[in-house]
Amino acid sequence: MPKTAIVVGSGIAGLACALRLRAKDFKVTVFEANPYPGGKLHSKNLGGFRFDMGPSLFTLPWLVDELFELHHKDPKDYFEYHRKSTVCNYFWEDGTTFSAPAEISDFIANAASVFEEPTESIQDYIATNRKKYELTKGLFLEKSLHRLGTYLSGDTIKAISRIGLMGISQNLNAWNTRYFSNPKLIQLFNRYATYNGSSPYQTPGIMSMIPHLEMDLGTYFPKGGMHQITRSLYSLAVDTGVDFRFNDPVSEIVVGNKKAKAVIAKSGEYPADIVISNMDIYPSFKKLLPREKPPIKVLRQERSSSALIFYWGIRRQFPELDLHNIFFSNDYQTEFDFIFNQKRIFHDPTVYINITSKEEVSDAPKGCENWFVMINAPGNHGQDWTSLKTSARSFIIQKLNRILNIDIEKEITQEMVLDPVGIEENTSSYRGALYGAASNSKFAAFLRHPNFSRRIKDLYFCGGSVHPGGGIPLSLLSAKIVSDLIPPATP
């Protein structure tokens, strides 16, 4: 009999785990509570507009390609992507705008001109970010932080020897202030803290490596939109024999003699040699493992920020906008104080607008645009979200009207809204956190739950709430770490 593996949840990490274990000759079954795969990475259509509902940024596409190559398939037979020439368009209330080119030399020259910063300072900052990433990726991103062997490698010793370069002992804002004097350029680089749901005034300076993923390694757009990543991986999984059970939520992981033995789903009980939970680590223990001692310290960690998203069908086009656009708050520090300390929406939020119809014209009717309008938001702590959504919508519209010099309300023909409550309900993300635990501490990476259970044999965890963190690339890496921990089903 072939060894069996059950994956609980079909988010992108769950799909990647299923594919990696299938390549190791496991018989794989994926249980999913929703009627569709992908978790946060799915889409909806409304009045002729198509919207990607979740992640909107695609970096490190070779992590997806690798899954096809594991099965000796050509990724281009399933999906295609291209590199963007513009990373993001930035807007400030005083009329300052900056279109960030993907080419590093152009970015440096343009940023030096717009922000009146020395070219050398920008060059040094970017080069240092690159060094940070290269030194730490083997420790913090590609291997388990919870295995002794990780710390005995030459790469780890090299990284530790360069600890002063990392900026671990100061926050990201302080680190960026070391390099730049222009508050707008500091704010531009501070915003990368939101890529792991944290505050730049709390997360350590080592997070300045995040821009490297965009600026050196590139931002990409998949043909068909972000949802095509899910669709392609699901198609590959079906083609390789992975079994999917949709609308079949798992209520418990069965443990016997300190070993994961089976899962109890809506449709019945299913034995397994290996169980992997792609569910958020908090409900993984609170719901799926009610009889097991939970890791209290891990579950008590501060959660990452959530999001409030308005999906707007816009009946005109804006040539000054691109795929990715940021409209900055005038008081960034207070905005993050509202999110993490007051658990409220700031009256001057930073607004992110993603417009996939800039790349995929069929995503909107002719002459129109599909706007994914997001602000960072606190998690769900029982706030009055009806009131918060109403006020946030007003704040966003006022801000866009001021900066774009338009009455945007008149241009909205379709609307959907997703708040932290909906995110929590749809994806089982505790409090609606987008990235599991926040990284507002220099110890955060070490406090994330490992990709395996120390107490329960053959139980593993993947996804954005465990090591190495949230977002598409890190979730894919979590699946790779899990796979590396599991021996092949056949010798």
SS3 of 459-482: the string is EEECCCCECCCCCHHHHHHHHHHH
DSSP 76: G
> pLDDT tens digit string along 107-152?
999 999 999 999 999 999 999 999 888 887 766 665 555 454 443 4
d(CA 112, CA 116): 5
pLDDT at residue 150, rounded to an integer: 43
Single-letter amino acid, residue 134? E
Least confident of 152-156, 216-220, 236-240, 477-481: 152-156
**DSSP code at position 305:** P
Q: Which residue has the tokens 């593996």?
A: 5
Query: 276 forms bridges with which residues in the sheet?
Result: 7, 460
- Rounded Cα distance, 440 and 193, in Å: 9
Burial class (CB in 10 A: 0-12, 13-18, 19+), 472: buried
65-80 per-position pLDDT tens digit: 999 999 999 999 999 9
Decide: 59 and 213 in contact? Cβ < 8 Å: yes
Mean confidence (pLDDT) of the chain: 93
pLDDT tens-digit series, residues 368-418? 999 999 999 999 999 999 999 999 999 999 999 999 999 999 999 999 999
* Residues β-bridged to residue 252: 264
Q: What are phi and psi of 23, to 5 degrees?
A: -70, -15
What the block records as the tokens of 75 is 């990724």
More confident residue, 438 or 120: 120
Average pLDDT over residues 34-61: 96
157 pLDDT band, cuts 50/70/90, is very low
Residue 289 scores a pLDDT above 90: yes
Rounded to whole angstroms, how far apart are CA atoms 210 and 60? 12
What type of residue is 365?
P
In angstroms, what CA-CA distances link 464 with 326, 332, 335, 478? 24, 25, 24, 8
Amino acid of residue 431: R
What band does 1 get if pLDDT is binned at 50, 70 and 90?
confident
- The predicted model gives 307-325 an average pLDDT of 98
Structure tokens at 8: 């609980």
Rounded CA-CA distance 171/326 in Å is 22
Can you read off the two tokens belonging to residue 354? 């993603």
- Alpha carbon dihedral 274, 280, 281, 285, in 10-degree steps, equals -80
Predicted confidence band at 188 (pLDDT cuts at 50, 70, 90)? Answer: very high
Distance, in Å, from the CA atom of 318 to the CA atom of 311, rounded to the nearest integer, reads 16
Beta carbons of 470 and 435 less than 8 angstroms apart: yes
Q: How far apart are CA 305 and CA 296, in angstroms?
A: 20
Q: Going from the N-terminus, what domains does the chain have, and what CATH number goes with each? A: 4-41+223-301+439-485 (3.50.50.60), 121-217 (1.10.405)
Q: What is the pLDDT of residue 447?
A: 73
Does position 56 have pLDDT exceeding 60, yes or no? yes
Question: What pTM does this model have?
Answer: 0.94
Q: In whole angstroms, what is the distance from residue 172 CA to residue 152 CA?
A: 29
Please answer whether residues 466 and 436 qualify as being in contact, where contact means their C-beta atoms are separated by less than 8 angstroms. Answer: yes
**What distance in Å separates the CA atoms of residue 466 and residue 473, rounded to the nearest whole number?**
13
Nearest to 243 by CA among 26, 24, 478: 26
| Band of pLDDT at residue 314, cut at 50, 70 and 90 | very high
The CA distance from 354 to 372, in Å, is 5
Angle, vertex CA 433, rays to CA 227 and CA 266, nearest 5: 70
425: CB partners within 8 A, 6+ apart: none
Proportion of the chain above pLDDT 70, given as a percent:
93
* Distance between start and end Cα atoms, the chain: 14
pLDDT above 60 for 308: yes
Q: What is the pLDDT of residue 261?
A: 97
